[in-house]
Amino acid sequence: MWKIIEPAKSRGRHPYDLCECECGTRKEVARTNINRGSISCGCKSSRATAKTRFTTHGKSRTTIHSVWKHLRQRCDNPKDAAYDDYGARGITYDPRWAVFENFLADMGEAPEGMTIDRIDNDGNYSKENCRWATKKEQANNRRLRKNSRYFTYDGETLTATQWAIKLGLNRSILYRRRAIGWDDPKIITTPVKVRAHKPNPLSGTELPVR
């Protein structure tokens, strides 16, 4: 990176040359140093150090990094288009996943054609609740998610899972009631009918011979 401009005065027994580095710095450099391989004024070393400092995982423009960045945005950023369906609903992510390397270690690289999907739509982003899913699998999950939005009754708004726990019933009942057009008060307050089992007329008897 040195270009010798002209010889400079000798200092003792060592001759010096006036040199210009590629970065534009001019400096008197001992000829012995140039012969030994002094390649720059120090800027090359500084650039290498800066590159190391600012290059961490080296995946800033990869698919997996984009997935990580967007899942955090939809949970943290009220200005994100998807925030209402995530952060506003209380959906967040494992604190470990605030660091990209931890997310990558837990989920691995994104398989081609798949995106991250939460198994429980009311749950958070975590290793236990996330998987890589195809578009078809995600579409099925989105249909479930549409039916698992909040239910409101008597001033209280909860998810289907939360209401199911509170009422002591299967949340699929809530989904079915909403799917047929019931309003929330009717969905929450209508008791579940228990079907009576008709006695088997052949119980305790031998089957008829034909």
The end-to-end CA distance of the chain, in Å, is 104
The DSSP-derived string for 163-203 is HHHHHTS-HHHHHHHHHTT--HHHHHHSPPPPPPPPPPTTT
Q: Which residues contact 166 (CB under 8 A, 6 or more apart)?
A: 158
| Distance in angstroms (rounded) separating the CA atoms of residues 91 and 74 | 9
Sheet holding 16-21, edge to edge: 2-7, 16-21, 26-30
- Domain assignments of the chain as residue spans, ordered by start: 2-54, 58-147, 148-194
pTM over 0.75? The answer is: no
According to DSSP, residue 148 is labeled T
pLDDT along the chain (210 residues), means of 10: 79 82 84 75 63 61 92 94 88 94 94 88 90 82 61 84 88 86 91 68 50
Listed residue (89, 98, 58, 210) closest to 159, CA to CA: 89
According to DSSP, residue 12 is labeled T
